[in-house]
Amino acid sequence: MQNPLLSKEITTRENRIWVRIIAACNVKCIFCLDADAQNGTLIDDTKIRDQIRDGYKPGMTNRIIISGGEASIHPKFADYVRYAKSVWYDRVQTVTNGNMFARREFCNKLFDAWLDEVTFSIHGHTAKLHDYLTAAPGSYERAIRWLINVRKFFPTKIVNIDIVVNKMNVEYLPQMVKFFMRLGVYEFDILQIIPFGRGFSQYKDQLFYRIEDYLWPLHDTWKLSKIPGVYMWTNRFQVEAFEWYEDLIQDPRKIKSEVMWEALEEFSTFIESHGITKPHCYWEACDVCFLKQYCHDYIDHQSHHLPAWDIQIYSGKDDPITFRYLILRWEEFPSQVYEKYGNTGEEFVSRIQDIHLNSNQEIVNIPRCIREKNNSGLYEWDNDMSQEKNVAQYTKNYILWLYRKKSTRCKSCKYNDSCEWLHINFIRSYWFNLLKPFLK
Compute, in degrees rounded to 10, the torsion defined by CA atoms 231, 435, 381, 261: 20
**Rounded (5°) CA angle 292-296-297:** 115
| Helix 264-272 and helix 292-300, axial crossing angle in degrees, nearest 10 | 10
Which pLDDT band holds residue 385 (cuts at 50, 70, 90)? very low
Nearest to 193 by CA among 222, 234, 229: 234
Q: Tell me the pTM.
A: 0.92
Poorest-pLDDT segment among 94-98, 263-267, 329-333, 412-416: 329-333
Q: Where would I find the H helices in 170-284?
A: 173-182, 198-202, 204-207, 215-224, 254-259, 264-272
CA–CA dist 429, 16 (Å, integer):
23
pLDDT for residue 78 is more than 80: yes
- The 10 Å Cβ neighbour count of residue 248 is 21
CA 420 to chain centre: 22
CB 73 within 8 A of CB 47: no
Integer Cα distance of 86 and 406 in angstroms: 47
The predicted model gives 360-389 an average pLDDT of 70
Spatial distance between the Cα atoms of 258 and 254, rounded to a whole number of angstroms:
7
Q: Which residue has the higher pLDDT, 71 or 3?
A: 71
> Residue 74 gets which letter from DSSP?
S
Tell me, what's the pLDDT at 430?
95
Give the Cα separation of 78 and 81 in Å (integer). Answer: 5
Map out the domains of the chain as residue ranges.
4-250, 303-382+400-434
Residue 129's Cβ-count burial label (10 Å; 0-12, 13-18, 19+) is middle
Residues listed for the chain: 440
pLDDT value at position 313?
Answer: 77
3-class SS at 17? strand
Query: Does the structure show a pLDDT above 80 at 298?
Result: yes
What sign does the CA torsion over 208, 213, 215, 216 have?
A: negative
* Contact (CB, 8 A) for 4 and 24: no
In CATH terms, the fold of domain 4-250 is TIM Barrel (3.20.20)
Q: Which helix (H) or strand (E) holds 62?
A: strand 62-67
Nearest to 305 by CA among 395, 397, 419, 382: 382
Average pLDDT, rounded, for the chain: 89
Most confident among 244-258, 372-386, 391-405 (mean pLDDT):
244-258
Burial of 325 (0-12, 13-18, 19+ CB in 10 A): middle
Note the pLDDT tens digit of each residue in 31-55. 998 887 888 999 999 999 999 999 9
- CB distance 255 to 294 below 8 Å: yes
| Mean pLDDT (whole number) for 259-267 | 83
Q: At 199, give phi and psi (nearest 5°).
A: -60, -40
Nearest to 420 by CA among 284, 303, 250: 303
Strand segments (E) across 103-253: 117-121, 158-165, 187-192, 231-235
Which ranges constitute the DSSP H helices of 13-44? none
The mean pLDDT of 154-172, rounded to a whole number, is 96
CB 96 within 8 A of CB 118: yes
For the chain, give the percent of residues with pLDDT over 70: 92
Highest mean pLDDT among 117-131, 273-287, 368-382: 117-131
